[in-house]
Amino acid sequence: MSTFLISGGGTGIGKGIAITLSKQGHTILVLGRNSEALEQTRTMLTGESYSIVADIRDRTSLARASNQLGSFKIDGIIANAGIGGENHWGIDDRWDDIIETNLTGTYNTILTFLPFLNKSKEKYKHILVISSVLARLGVAKYSAYCASKAGLLGLVRSLAIDFAPDNILVNAICPGWVETEMSNKGMVEIAKRIGITRSEFFEEAMKDVPLGKMSQPEEVAQLVAYLLSQQSITGQAIDINNGSVMNS
């Protein structure tokens, strides 16, 4: 069995990934800022697991955390941690926070833990980045989030070329609506801004989704598990969005 590091493993999609991979018998390292959330995830895991408390925006914080791993080997990095929400030009603009977390934080995470990935004895190693359907679409007031998630796709393509000689496959997953606390908060925020209820906004949003539903974190986790098992896909962005965006 393999060892996988999952950033943002305390909630949402990250938690779903941790649970799914743990059930398959893998060792799980969950990384995040909230130690209580990480430990809560670990209570749901069936195999060996560890928590790593660090802020992905802070390279010093990540370096301290990585120093605790010693001679640990990692077979795959799942860079999932991120934040959402609107940003507005002005004194309270969240642009820097969103970009630093979603884009720079992902870069920091991958490069900090790359030496542990290089220690792996597996023939093929993996880096998976959780992007978003909003890497493909524009949404009003979400310029920072859309830009950060689109930027991740460029990062993935570049790293896929950089790391190919070491048999490290680098891919992105672009989920659409997924039933998580972050997506619910986003729905509430948008609904409030346009003057309707969350339920009304949900109904409107689902009109643009052919299957008319949100995904569950476990569905994204199943796609993650597949990509971690294959040996030919790299530099790609795989969509899982119930048909809301169909790329040729």
Rounded to the nearest 10 degrees, how much is the dihedral formed by the CA atoms of 72, 45, 85, 158? 40
pLDDT band at residue 248 using 50, 70 and 90 as cut-offs:
low
Rg of the chain's alpha carbons, rounded to an integer? 18
pLDDT at site 182? 87
**Does the structural domain 3-178+216-240 have CATH classification 3.40.190.10?**
no
Q: Is 8 exposed, middle or buried (0-12, 13-18, 19+ CB in 10 A)?
A: buried
pLDDT tens profile 85-139: 999 999 999 999 999 999 999 999 999 999 999 999 999 999 999 999 999 999 9
Look up the pTM and report it.
0.94
Report how far residue 188's alpha carbon sits from residue 1's, in angstroms, rounded to the nearest whole number. Answer: 41
Please tell me whether residue 166 adopts helix, strand or coil conformation: helix
